[in-house]
Structure 1
Amino acid sequence: MTGGDFALIEAFLPMSLIYDDDGRIVHAGPTLAKLRSRTALEGRDVRAIFSVRDNGRGSGEGPLPLFTRLYLTFREGKPTALKGMAVPLPERGLNVLNLAFGISIVDAVAEYRLTAGDFAHTDLAIEMLYLVEAKSAVLEETKQLNIRLQGAKLMAEEQAYTDILTGLRNRRAMDHVLQRMLRGKIAFAILHLDLDYFKRVNDTFGHAAGDAVLQAVAVILREESRGDDLVARVGGDEFILLFTDVLDRRRLLGVAERIIARLEVPIPYEDGLCRISGSIGITATDLYRHPDADEMIQDADLALYTSKSEGRGRATLFDPARHHRPAAGTGRARPGARDRPP
């Protein structure tokens, strides 16, 4: 065969090889040469290169069955699976073995870094590769869209439980955590904080100053709590802290007094100083046979009201004997923000 003959075969069958009737490979196509170099193929027996099986319907007595589908695997190196068919070149003592990847083409293209130029222009594998590429692009875009949607969902959920101004948890988050802790029978304490003299800051310096003070308070409360505690802003200048597994009264009072002392350090704002304090009411689950969220918050509020009434800037532990709840149906409401001194 001439060089022109080989070029013609390569144009139509780039993944083919030519072998003689003894099985010796005399030429390897350019795509096949990417899988195994020509020097590793040419001159060797085709049966030494491939493990071959067929469906038993082949003809001929040569090295490979002719005119039937062949299933081939490289004996050396990567065991890439191939499909093929061998046909004779009449009166030349040569045979052409044309090979294809079959359904493993996508893996083979990636493994051997093949391009469209490695396949015949009429090869349907090119169309399949385009379809696979398009499908991969769509799947990747869908994956990225799902990631963005999941991120947006998480962000929305986070915002739903977060106080925008301070970055603390909000009342919704507090209610959720309270119910979870009660269902899990987890011991905890509630510190209910209401800022003292906060209205004076708003009246003197404006609401922007009030916002700055609330943000400074949030920093203090974060620093005085632990990672698994909850700090929530539940009203304009009201905060609730949930301390997990802390029931010791002296320790709770110590934390409350430390918070109050830090709140009383003047907070700079522009050219002035904002002066506030805080009143705190405290209760804990061990005071109740069957702890209830609403009852505990009410009791912490009663203790907070006592702190306000006795001069502000102090912490009070709820005492069932001292803080009498209104009986059901009496029409007496528990003290709220409107009833407390500012």
Structure 2
Amino acid sequence: AVAHYQLAGSDFSPTDLTLELLYLVEANSAVMAESRKLNERLHGAKAQAEARALADTLTGLQNRRALDTTLLRLVARGIPFTLMHLDLDYFKQVNDTFGHAAGDRVLVEVARILREETRRDDLVARVGGDEFVIVFNGMTSQSQLSSIAGRLIDRIEEPIGVGGEQARISTSIGMVSSTQYRKVDIEQMMKDADQALYASKEHGRACFTFFQRDGPSV
């Protein structure tokens, strides 16, 4: 009120307690406003810190911690999902030939492709040097997953420019769906997806494999 009506001490009698009360109200309002701003900044900083803790610093994808959190949430809610485990083929040759900076450039480009080929509700995580995991939320159709895996392989096989040179890689993929289990065991699913991935490696790389109980199906 004092500030709003541009009042000053001369507008009140020296003995008028209203002056002191009004100034106290104004001071309290100012303190509360600053407190709200501080809380907003603290909440913002906390949210940023939590986001950084769940992100891969190089690619901006989610990390293993975020992957574990997402899988636990899906299992707890009974939501069906598919794990797609990708490992880059010939990535070591890129590092050996062009250097680690070029390798980082390739990883960033692969991350971009993975984001573009997945939906907002899916999770894309980098879980190792050249390993990635995609969690397809609510998707278990092998025909849909086959289409996505095929596009990923085709796009990742396209040459990637690194310092005036062309780096060439590919990717091998293993997949497993939660609906293949009576009781979903995340650790076992990861092992089974890994087994399917290495079946792809054994079949010449640049292909995808679905895990099957009687053996992976390429």
Interval containing the TM-score (normalised by the shorter chain):
over 0.9
Aligned with 2:94: secondary structure? helix
Counterpart pick for 1:268 among 141, 151, 161: 161
Secondary structure of 1:273's aligned partner: strand
Tell me the secondary structure at the aligned position of residue 316 of structure 1.
Answer: strand
Count matched residues. Answer: 215
AA partner of residue 254 (structure 1): S
Query: Tell me, what secondary structure is at the counterpart of 1:141?
Result: helix
1:115 matched to 2:7? The reply is: yes
**SS of corresponding position for 1:282:** strand
| Pairing 1:290–2:183 present | yes
Q: Which has the larger radius of gyration?
A: 1
1:79-110 residue CA offsets vs partner (Å, 9 max, x unmatched): xxxxxxxxxxxxxxxxxxxxxxxxxxx4xx57
Q: Whole-Å Cα distance in 1 between the matches of residues 128 and 120 of structure 2? A: 22
Partner residue in 1 for 2:59:
166
Q: What displacement does 1:289 show? A: 0.9
The sequence identity of aligned pairs, in percent, is 53
- Residue 221 of structure 1 is matched in structure 2 by 114
Aligned-residue offset at 1:137: 2.1
Q: Deviations over 1:175-202 (max 9, x none)?
A: 0000110111111111100001111111
2:183 paired with 1:304: no
Match of 2:46 in 1: 153
The equivalent residue for 1:184 is 77
- Select 1:130's aligned residue among 23, 27, 42: 23
Which of the residues 30, 35, 48 maps onto 1:142?
Answer: 35
The equivalent residue for 1:231 is 124
One-letter code of the match for 1:144?
A: K
Q: Which has the higher helix share?
A: 2
Separation in 1, partners of 2:194, 2:172: 10
2:92 aligned residue (193, 199, 217)? 199
What is the TM-score normalised by the length of structure 2? 0.94
User: Structure 2: which 5+ runs fail to align?
Assistant: none
Q: With a CA cutoff of 8 Å and minimum separation of 6, indicate the structure with the bigger relative contact order.
A: 2
Q: Deviations over 1:226-252 (max 9, x none)?
A: 010110111111100011121111211
| Deviation of 1:271 (Å) | 1.1
Looking at structure 2, the residues matched to 178 and 322 of structure 1 have their Cα atoms a distance apart, in angstroms, of 24
Letter in 2 for 1:318: F
